């Protein structure tokens, strides 16, 4: 059965690749992002791109109202918008940390609050929340990002229990390192950290691993996410979690293991 699907963060990477697949499968796919100009190719394929900022509740309400007016329902909400913020807890400005949570957690929650009433009334629907393998583990320099994804995990698990009586599924997507803009955004955030940081040596090691992964040596293609999303969308009883792709060895070699070794030697 063809579904009405709403995808946030669909202007690039996992969201865009998955939207292409879902459109090709005949679903009605609404794609939203701040950069609507980067979704024109989806429009040409038959998607319906709309400009929206997940941190703006008026934007969210406008989009949800328009879809429900046109389609009468929303079958699937994929909360995919998010970004990575890396740097030490000491160095990262709190305003940037708050922005991380506004997008990764509160933006997701705002979308959910606007869509759930329609799913609950219909006693049908699926909500997919993009977490990360980082929502279950941790690395140095990733406190704010990992904290936001740990929050996504906890919020999703509670939401699942709340919506079970209404036959609404809540699925957590846990990607590994995917070949998207994530790596470059992460590196840009590292570049903002002051050069005299006490954590410079540790950051340099993680930057090294991130660069190698971003260049394709260990990251997975976005198509693996698209395949997983397609399975979730068409399943009557999807799993609660889908872990897709692996963390590249560079992250373990230059990240957590190096840091733990460093801390052991320092103790």
User: Which residue from 129, 31, 19 is spatially nearest to 79, judged by alpha carbons?
Assistant: 129
Which residues does 202 contact at the CB level (< 8 Å), separation at least 6? 140, 141, 258, 259, 262
User: Which residue from 27, 28, 34, 46 is spatially nearest to 10, judged by alpha carbons?
Assistant: 34
Q: What percent of the chain has pLDDT over 90?
A: 64
Say which of 11, 132, 219, 220 is annotated catalytic.
11
- Predicted local confidence at residue 140, as pLDDT: 83
The answer to whether 131 is a known catalytic residue is yes
Q: What is the pLDDT of residues 69-100, one digit of tens each?
A: 999 999 999 999 998 888 889 999 999 999 99
Dihedral sign computed on CA atoms, order 32, 169, 71, 106: negative
Which pLDDT band holds residue 203 (cuts at 50, 70, 90)? confident
- In this prediction, residues 99-114 reach a mean pLDDT of 97
Say which of 21, 88, 114, 131 is annotated catalytic.
131
Say which of 30, 86, 145, 242 is annotated catalytic.
145
Domains of the chain, first to last: 4-179+220-246 (3.40.50.720)
Q: Residue 38: how many CA atoms within 13 Å on its side-chain side? A: 13
Q: What is the pLDDT of residues 148-161, one digit of tens each?
A: 999 999 999 999 99
- Predicted local confidence at residue 63, as pLDDT: 98
- Predicted local confidence at residue 125, as pLDDT: 98
Evaluate if residue 228 carries a pLDDT over 90.
Answer: yes
The answer to whether 11 is a known catalytic residue is yes
Say which of 3, 20, 21, 149 is annotated catalytic.
149
Structure tokens at 40: 């024109």
The answer to whether 149 is a known catalytic residue is yes
- Predicted local confidence at residue 262, as pLDDT: 44
The answer to whether 221 is a known catalytic residue is no
Q: What percent of the chain has pLDDT over 70?
A: 80
């Amino acid at each position: 059965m063809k579904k009405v699907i709403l995808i946030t963060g669909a202007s690039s990477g996992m969201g865009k690749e998955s939207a292409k697949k879902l459109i090709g499968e005949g679903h009605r796919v609404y794609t939203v992002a701040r950069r609507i100009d980067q979704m024109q190719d989806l429009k040409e394929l038959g998607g319906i791109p709309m400009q929206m900022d997940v941190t703006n509740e008026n934007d969210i309400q406008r989009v949800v109202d328009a879809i429900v007016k046109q389609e009468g329902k929303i079958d699937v909400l994929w909360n995919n918008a998010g970004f990575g913020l890396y740097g030490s807890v000491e160095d990262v400005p709190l305003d940037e940390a708050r922005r991380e949570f506004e997008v990764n957690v509160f933006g997701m929650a705002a979308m959910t609050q606007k869509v759930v009433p329609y799913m609950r009334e219909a006693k049908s629907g699926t909500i997919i929340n993009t977490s990360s393998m980082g929502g279950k583990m941790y690395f140095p320099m990733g406190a704010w990002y990992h904290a936001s994804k740990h929050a996504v995990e906890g919020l999703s698990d509670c939401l699942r229990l709340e919506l079970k009586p209404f036959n609404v599924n809540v699925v957590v997507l846990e990607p590994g390192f995917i070949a998207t803009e994530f790596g470059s955004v992460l590196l840009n955030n590292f570049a903002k950290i002051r050069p005299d940081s006490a954590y410079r040596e540790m950051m340099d090691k993680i930057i090294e691993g991130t660069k190698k992964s971003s260049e394709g040596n260990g990251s997975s293609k976005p198509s693996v996410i698209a395949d997983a999303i397609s399975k979730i969308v068409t399943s009557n009883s999807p799993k609660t979690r889908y872990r897709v792709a692996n963390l590249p060895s560079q992250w373990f070699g230059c990240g957590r293991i190096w840091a733990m070794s460093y801390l052991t030697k320092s103790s």
